Amino acid sequence: MQKRNKANLALGISAAGFLGTLTMGGFLGGLFHHGFLAAVIGGLADWFAVTALFHKPLGISYRTDILRRNRVRITDAIVRFTSEDLLSTKNVMDVLQAQDMAGLLVVYLEHRGGRAEVISVAREAMLRIVKDMDAERVAETLAPALRDGLKGLELEHVAQELFSLLAEEVHVRRILKSILIIAREVLDSPQMQQLLRDNIKTLRKAYEGEGFGRAFALSAVGIDDDEILRIFNQRAREELGQLLSGETEHYVRVKAGLEAMLMALARDRALKDALAVWKERWVDVVDLTGILVYWIEHSLKGENSFWLKNLEEYVGRYIDTFCASKAMQASFDTKVKKFFQSELDKHHAMLTGLIRERLDEFSDDALVAFVESKVEDDLQMIRINGSAIGGLVGMGLFLLVTTAERTWIL
């Protein structure tokens, strides 16, 4: 049963008791009668007082409907208390200064799923930024700078330095080994075997000519196209195998020749000039804007973009470093608190306006209903207590008066 109904029931019982004991005589009748009378008076008085806080009991407007009549003063008091005391800059900062902001962040990152959440947020934020990127506009902005950068790039010098680097023995050995492995794979490929067979056939026909003697001689010793191809493959594989095995005389000559070729390329003035001319022509002709647009749309954007893994790894490493570094945590704690201090100093005045604005959003009826709903149970208990205390006081006074009368008569 709601407190309001209990309070009304208590008042109703008091009134019924008062009426029911009007005709009762004797000591007990007088005791209960005066008790119920006082309970009715106390209950009605408290009902009037409680109701007067929010409404006009019995239509009486004098000193009633207190909340509506004093709304402005109440609002001013709430705003002043909240902004100047409860949420003053000093009180807020005292609470923040007592907190280990970095420690709270470390706990969140290490034990409450914060690491995965931060990485996910960073990933989604960057994906959204890249997705919303206007590829055409970005490409048109970057293309001129990229073209100037390519023109300023001394490609011819880079190529010469590259050839000089490749001419070093350690690189020559690797290059030669790679060439030999590729050559062996090419030799064994079906396409190369067919090409060799076709060329052997052409060479054999040219060798035989229109005469019969050479053809007869080759046939007599059992040399046909397949045999020639077999012999060639065998000799070629043996030669490649020897070269791949290492320090043979032939290997040394081939390696020296490759070194000489690379050094010659590194010193070739004509090649340097040709590269410079080609670079200038290529930079002016190539559609850098189109290339950039294609690269942005197909490489930069999308859920499988090449940079996503690097971003996630970078954020993860930074989180690990932060959690392990007391210096970084101390710096973070200081910066966060300074930031809050600065923002509170700059914007604390807005708090007054925000609180007042929120309170002003309530209509009088809505404000009364809101406050009444929060304190109704306690106020109804006041009514119940009023009836109960009134009844006890009434019976006490009856006993006191009765005792005094009997004492006086005696």
DSSP string, 377-402: HHHHHHHHHHHHHHHHHHHHHHHHHH
Structural domain includes residue 313: no
Range of the domain at 236: 135-300
Structural domain includes residue 58: yes
Residues 207 and 146 in one domain: yes
Q: Which residues of 199-237 are buried (b: 16+ CB within 10 A; e: fewer)?
A: ebeeebeeebeeeeeeeeebeeeeeeeeebbeeeeeeee
No. of helices (H) and no. of strands (E), the chain: 19, 0
Q: Tell me what pLDDT residue 355 has.
A: 81
Q: Tell me what pLDDT residue 1 has.
A: 45
Chain center to CA of 44: 61
Structural domain includes residue 274: yes
Q: How far apart are CA 20 and CA 32, in angstroms?
A: 10
Residues 238 and 330 in one domain: no
Taking only the tens of pLDDT, the chain with its 410 residues reads 466 778 778 878 888 887 888 878 788 888 888 888 888 888 888 888 888 888 888 888 787 888 788 888 888 888 888 877 777 888 888 888 888 999 999 999 999 999 999 999 999 998 888 888 888 888 888 888 887 877 777 767 777 777 788 778 777 788 878 888 888 888 888 888 888 777 877 766 665 555 555 455 555 555 676 777 788 888 888 887 877 777 677 777 877 888 888 788 778 788 777 777 777 777 777 888 888 888 888 888 877 788 888 999 999 999 999 999 999 999 999 999 999 888 888 887 787 788 888 878 878 788 778 877 777 788 888 888 888 888 888 889 888 888 887 787 65
Residues 93 and 200 in one domain: no
Residues 333 and 211 in one domain: no
Q: Tell me what pLDDT residue 118 has.
A: 93
Residues 153 and 90 in one domain: no
Q: Which residue has the tokens 């970078």?
A: 314
Residues 331 and 290 in one domain: no
Residues 210 and 356 in one domain: no
Structural domain includes residue 315: no
Structural domain includes residue 203: yes
Residues 403 and 366 in one domain: yes
Domain end point (choices 285, 300, 315): 300
Nearest in space to 130 (alpha carbons), one of 319, 317, 318, 311: 311
Residues 285 and 336 in one domain: no
Structural domain includes residue 144: yes
Residues 100 and 159 in one domain: no
Q: Tell me what pLDDT residue 211 has.
A: 52
CB atoms within 10 A of CB 8: 16
For the chain, the domain total comes to 2
Q: How far apart are CA 21 and CA 18, in angstroms?
A: 5
Residues 6+ apart with CB under 8 A from 104: none
Structural domain includes residue 170: yes
